[in-house]
Structure 1
């Protein structure tokens, strides 16, 4: 588990070569700091990281860098729906007959649906 104070100290003392990024598991950014360490831009960014780590709360640091060590909360959003009332067989056959009369379904589709209902 990564420590906020250790990350801040690494950023202050060895941040110019990206050691704090390697410590936090950000190897891509760590290699970028190593490649451009001669420009002193990574040292400037590491100093800003140092200040951010010092002002960041422990909870937000853990949320950002130690998320794998904490169990994710299980959110249960299941809302039961009431069961649908059984349909009246006679009204369903009448509805199918109207669909057949309008030409929406064929005679064979009507017969098959009626057979399923009965």
Structure 2
């Protein structure tokens, strides 16, 4: 899961080399920033990337760079439906012997305490 603050800090301090682009999964952009870093143009562009990342809402950032992760999981609040889905996934892991009985019970209790 990508973090907006980390991406903004990478853009500010290492943006001339395109590190923030690689972090955000924009590898082509990262390669271009790296190839043209000697011209200092990527450093100028990275400053605007930095400002854009800071001004972007958390919801817009997560929609663009963390697709497929429900926003309720990212902000820490879970609905009853999310917990039910998590419990069924946990049960599947237990049935496949991917986790022990102790791990299953511990995680199940944590999920049920969130209700």
4+ aligned runs moved over 2 Å, structure 1: 68-71
Partner of 2:60: 60
Partner of 1:4: 4
Aligned to 1:68, the other structure's residue is in SS state: coil
The superposition leaves residues 8-27 of structure 1 with CA deviations (integer Å, 9 ceiling, x where unpaired) of 00000000000000000011
Partner of 2:27: 27
Q: CA deviation at 1:68?
A: 3.4
Alignment partner of 1:46 is 2:46? yes
TM-score norm. by structure 1 comes to 0.58
TM-score norm. by structure 2 comes to 0.59
Aligned to 1:20, the other structure's residue is in SS state: helix
Partner of 1:91: none
Equivalence map 1:68-87=2 (5 Å) = 68-70=68-70
Partner of 1:37: 37
Q: Which has the higher helix share?
A: 2
Partner of 2:103: none
Q: Structure 2: how far apart are the matches of 1:32 and 1:58?
A: 27
Larger radius of gyration: 1
Q: CA deviation at 1:70?
A: 3.6
